[in-house]
């Protein structure tokens, strides 16, 4: 298990302690995988050999693919990424034309190839801070624009997956500045929040559309105090719409939560959810919701350097658990980003390292209860953004490079929805249970125990020893876990599943019957 330079290599294996039979040997790198047969009718031995050989450092540490340069202009800023299945959309502000405009690139194959740059705005003023909501083939793009003399919120939409776009539509129209918009939606219902100073100080405003953006209802002022309210982050689940924002009304900056339970028609009171010390709070706080879980991520420097902090509510904002510090290093962590897919919570941030900066990623597979270790996924980069979909986890960032400026990176196995923790009790032993049901059609569940903090890997193989799927590749704390596997696209037959940690390895057999 080594990192090798390009070249031709030869390795020897002494099998004098093994019985006669068929064995398999595998080479795996980040871009190549091949398995060959070496004349045991004992599948246990085959898998033993597979695990010994294929646990190369890249696979063990991460499933992130090599980065791809997708935009090369040197006047770019603040990219955002959104996706639906294999369709991935990257938007950014770009001043190559003398003023900032919004541009876009699209990949329809999960990020492996990209179409041309598309200029989406063409105005005399500044078009900046894009925000995106996707519903199937409908893409809704919002941004702030000062072409009219003051900043207003504009939007446009595509009904065919980004192939063509509507004209610009002005959503706000007042004498003050409307900026820093945040958008979400449920089907055809769009929810928009932004900062507005029409009242003399910054307040949070909201409006909605119930017909895919064709018509917009009147603006609703959500905050009303003498200090500034800022950085709204809006999310929705069913009839519940949540807005989290910052406010100085008690002297120190705190986070507040506000909820509508009737699709944005009426709103509850402002609820202070933090009691932060006197510290600098970063301007890029993010929130997301899935079901009754609301997640909040921010950075502050209460300890002298910027660290990431996280809070959650498990009951739609009625109560909030104490904050958790997610980072603890000698380097600052800032520009946080948050994405949620079911019970998997993904975060990224920027961290200075020497004279440059790196992008750091971590995730929770149980709604923010436990978190993986920090993973550096990119170097010499700034302003990372993150998104997750059924095709994996997508990251974009700005990078000073002779071959490009906006880069894209993908983890195709990072969003494997279905890993659940059944118990936090520390088991006496590692254990891989028999799957159930067995036989099964087409899905089954695999339960396993982790005795101590471990890197756990669960893989599926067919009867020939070919790797079919990686179900788990995660740093896990002690406990009992369960993962689902869906074999709907596979033929009937015998399959094998294996658990490997640093101190334990076990393989079991299961039967798919259709």
Write the DSSP assignment of 92-116 as a string of letters. Answer: EEE-TTSS-EEEEEEESSTTSS---
Distance CA 441, CA 330 (A): 51
DSSP result, 429-460: S-EEPPPBSSSBSSEEEEEEEE-SSEEEEEEE
Which own/partner pairs from 210-218 qualify as long-range (CB within 8 Å, at least 24 positions apart)? 210/263, 212/135, 212/138, 212/157, 212/188, 213/140, 213/155, 213/157, 213/169, 216/171
* pLDDT in the model for residue 19: 56
Cβ distance 405 to 397 under 8 Å?
A: no
Contact assessment for residue 469 and residue 459, using Cβ atoms and an 8 Å cutoff: yes
Cis peptide before 442 (omega within 30 of 0): yes
- The domains located in the chain, with CATH, are 23-62+419-512 (2.60.40.1930), 288-412 (2.120.10.10)
pLDDT tens-place string over residues 271-316:
999 998 877 787 778 999 988 899 999 999 888 899 999 999 999 9
pLDDT by residue (tens digit) across 20-30?
655 556 665 54
CB 106 within 8 A of CB 428: no
Paired tokens of 429: 């032993």
Strands (E), 149-200: 152-158, 169-170, 178-186, 189-196
| pTM of the predicted structure, to 2 decimals | 0.72
Which of the residues in the chain have pLDDT under 50? 1-7, 30, 39-62
Q: What is the pLDDT of residues 203-238, one digit of tens each?
A: 999 999 999 999 999 999 999 988 899 999 999 998
Q: Which residue has the tokens 């909030």?
A: 320
Q: What are the distances in angstroms from CA 260 to CA 191, 232, 315?
A: 11, 15, 14
Confidence at residue 28, expressed as pLDDT on a 0 to 100 scale = 57
């Amino acid at each position: 298990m080594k990192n090798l330079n390009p070249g031709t290599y030869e390795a020897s294996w002494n099998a004098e302690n093994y019985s006669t039979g068929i064995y398999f040997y595998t080479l795996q790198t980040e871009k190549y995988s091949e398995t060959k047969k070496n004349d045991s009718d004992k599948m246990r031995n085959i898998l033993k050999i597979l695990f010994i050989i294929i646990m190369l450092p890249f696979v063990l540490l991460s499933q992130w693919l090599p980065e791809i340069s997708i935009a090369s202009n040197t006047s770019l800023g603040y990219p955002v990424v959104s996706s639906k299945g294999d369709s991935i959309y990257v938007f950014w502000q770009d001043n190559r034309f003398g003023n900032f405009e919004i541009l876009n690139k699209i990949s329809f194959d999960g990020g492996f190839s990209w179409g041309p740059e598309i200029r989406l705005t063409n105005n005399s003023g500044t078009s900046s801070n894009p925000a995106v909501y996707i519903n199937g083939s409908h893409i809704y793009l919002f941004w702030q624009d000062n072409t009219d003399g003051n900043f207003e919120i504009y939007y446009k939409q595509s009904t065919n997956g980004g192939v063509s776009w509507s004209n610009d539509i002005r959503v706000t129209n007042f004498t003050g500045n409307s900026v820093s918009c945040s958008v979400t939606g449920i089907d055809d219902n769009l929810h928009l929040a932004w900062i507005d100073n029409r009242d003399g100080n910054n307040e949070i405003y909201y409006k909605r559309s119930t017909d895919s953006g064709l018509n917009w209802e009147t603006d609703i002022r959500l905050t009303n105090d003498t200090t500034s309210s800022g950085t709204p982050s809006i999310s929705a689940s069913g009839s519940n719409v949540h807005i989290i924002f910052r406010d100085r009304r008690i002297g120190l900056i705190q986070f507040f939560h506000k909820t509508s339970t009737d699709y944005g028609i009426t709103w509850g009171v402002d609820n202070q959810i933090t009691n932060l010390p006197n510290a600098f709070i970063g301007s890029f706080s993010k929130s997301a919701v899935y079901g009754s879980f609301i997640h909040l991520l921010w950075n502050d420097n209460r300890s002298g350097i910027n660290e990431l902090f996280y809070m959650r509510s498990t009951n739609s904002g009625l109560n909030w658990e104490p904050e958790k510090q997610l980072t603890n290093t000698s380097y600052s962590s800032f520009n946080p980003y948050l994405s949620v897919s079911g019970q998997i919570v993904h975060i990224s941030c920027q961290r200075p390292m020497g004279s440059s900066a790196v992008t750091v990623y971590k995730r929770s597979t149980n709604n923010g209860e436990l978190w993986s270790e920090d993973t550096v996924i990119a170097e010499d980069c700034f302003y990372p953004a993150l998104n997750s979909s059924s095709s994996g986890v997508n990251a974009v960032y700005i990078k000073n490079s002779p071959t490009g400026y906006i880069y894209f990176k993908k983890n195709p196995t990072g969003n494997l929805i279905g890993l659940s923790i059944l118990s936090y009790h520390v088991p006496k032993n590692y254990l891989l249970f028999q799957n159930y049901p067995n036989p099964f059609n087409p899905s089954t569940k695999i339960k396993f125990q982790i005795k101590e903090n471990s890197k756990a890997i669960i893989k599926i193989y067919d009867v020939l020893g070919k790797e079919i799927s990686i179900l788990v590749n995660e740093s896990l704390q002690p406990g009992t876990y369960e993962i689902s596997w869906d074999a709907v696209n596979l033929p009937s037959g015998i399959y094998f599943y294996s658990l490997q940690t640093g101190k334990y390895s076990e393989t079991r057999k299961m039967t798919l019957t259709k």
